Amino acid sequence: MDSSAEQSFVGKGKSRPLKDRVLSAGHRFLLWLTRWILRLIYGERGQIVSPIRNEILLQSATSLASKIRTKKLTSVSVVQAFIDRSKEINPLLNIIVDERYEAALKDAEVADESIASGILTEQQLAEQKPFLGVPISTKDCIKVKDLLHTTGLWARRSTRADKDARAMELMRNAGAIPFALTNVSEICMWWESVNTIFGRSRNPYDTNRIVGGSSGGEGAIQAAAGSPFGLGSDIGGSIRMPAFFNGIFGHKPSRNIVSNDGQYPDIVTEEADRFLTIGPMCRYAEDLKPMLRIIADKNAAKLRLDDPVDMKQVKFFYQLDDGGGSLVSPVDQDIKDGIEKVMTYFRSTIKATVKKVQLDKLQMSAPIWFGNLKEKDEITLDVQMANMEGKINPHAELFKWFFGKSKHTFAVIMATVTDKSGVQYGTPEYNELVKLRNELLVEFTELLGDNGVFIYPTHPTVAPYHNEPLVRTLNFSYTAVINALGLPSTSVPLGLGPEELPIGLQVIGNLNQDRLCLAVASELERAFGGWVSPNA
């Protein structure tokens, strides 16, 4: 059947008012001008991270765990290999903010001794300690006992974690060994990882480009093979955008599956707890499911992760852009082409049902996210920026910033300035956005059913230059709207585009249908190659 005959359009798309078209044209000119200026400043390409020479670094966490418990490798040799690689790449990328290298090596010795003792069989180790002896990293907003816990906020520059976050505790219980803490955006409120404590992180494929945020350091350490796997957190795309920009896998679980305990800022409202979730980040798709099973803990049963997925029975729906969201960049053609290639693969090779759709409400993704995150008892940004001890004056901080005297970043200062000027809880505008979100959720629920996935851009462009997100602020809406809906989503790499930067897509499932997202991710890795080394 001709592909056009298979397309099913949900909604027709509406012509936009003249003022919106003029605003869009002006914004596109600003994007072009900014890119032209930044290319003059940075040049076409920056540096690329050094080649990967140790074969241990090229294996999945699952494979490493198997070789450790079967004594083909020692935990000490594996941990040492990633420590060495981290030390090698960090001067160029600036992604590691704290470490426990010596303690990790001691933990590795204990793991090797435990395996050598024979107290547990290989099968028992696989079941009870599936990642025994494997090093793990995480971002500087998720607690790792005794390591820094700053969240990139100057007032917290000396704060250390008194215990592990619940997700890290569960990974430790499964045998993983925390060894490195990675950089984030200030207070995890921006999609470029830069703050006034540790500075700016750089992309391993091109150091002139961003790593994303807020799990940006984590995305980069994975891509550069400085860690076999790690934990990120996602309230508006903070796992999936860094995964996309750095060419790795990242999964945002369904809402309320993984505990958010042990993060800063503290989650104090039910709505924020539904938006935010901790999830896995890794180079190889096979690590996603076992990681998710561990950190989901007692909620893992809800996800039915071991239920088989027949790819021929999965229904694929896709959309190439948001339909023209206000002040959102157009989707790069190579990203659209990548999605079309994926759809052709599932249509012709897998013989699956593939339909192109148009969900018009996605044009409102950014307003839906901003509006629905509001709650009656929310803690405002000016209080969070003061580390919950009083509040900052964002206008005074903005004035100080222009003279290089502020301890805050420009992006987060501006977010604080506008925090109280946007849609407010309980207003008619707020109620309309809640209604819009609920209607969109119904559309997704009915469209996907129990065997459908939605293929959608993770982000409209490849990794921008440093500071460029300031004029592309709302591009995060491609991921953020999925947080507002509470649905699971996996960012999947599709290799490198014409600029030699990673491209990819996100696979979205119905609530608690994470297994479909992960199965599709694994299939796409087999078909398109998955992660590509920056020096391939």
What per-residue confidence (pLDDT) applies to 410? 97
Is 170 part of any domain?
yes
Q: CATH number, domain at 252?
A: 3.90.1300.10
What per-residue confidence (pLDDT) applies to 444? 98
Is 413 part of any domain?
no
Where would I find the H helices in 94-195? 101-117, 122-128, 166-173
Query: Model's pTM, two decimal places?
Result: 0.96
Catalytic residue among 114, 227, 238, 365: 238
What per-residue confidence (pLDDT) applies to 4? 33
Is 393 part of any domain?
no
Q: How far is CA 20 from CA 27, 236, 484, in A?
A: 10, 25, 24
Catalytic residue among 129, 139, 252, 289: 139
What per-residue confidence (pLDDT) applies to 181? 99
Distance CA 493, CA 250 (A): 9
Is 409 part of any domain?
no
Catalytic residue among 75, 214, 329, 522: 214
User: Could you identify the residue written with the tokens 């509040």?
Assistant: 391
Query: CA angle at residue 58 from 346 to 70, to 5 degrees?
Result: 105
Is 406 part of any domain?
no
> pLDDT means per 10 residues in the chain (536 residues)?
34 64 91 96 94 98 98 98 98 98 98 97 98 98 98 98 98 98 97 98 98 98 98 98 98 98 89 95 98 98 98 98 96 98 97 97 97 89 94 97 97 92 91 98 98 98 98 98 98 97 98 98 98 93
Closest CA to 104 of 144, 64, 73: 144
Active site residue 238: yes
Distance CA 247, CA 530 (A): 8
Distance CA 535, CA 60 (A): 18
Active site residue 106: no
Is 385 part of any domain?
no
Contact (CB, 8 A) for 258 and 268: no
Is 387 part of any domain?
no
Q: How many domains does the chain have?
A: 1
Is 391 part of any domain?
no
Distance CA 182, CA 230 (A): 10
Q: Which domain holds residue 138?
A: 3-11+19-380+420-528
Would you call 356 exposed, middle or buried from its count of C-beta atoms within 10 A (0-12, 13-18, 19+)?
A: buried
Active site residue 139: yes
pLDDT digits (tens, 9 = 90+) for 159-212: 999 999 999 999 999 999 999 999 999 999 999 999 999 999 999 999 999 999
What per-residue confidence (pLDDT) applies to 55? 98
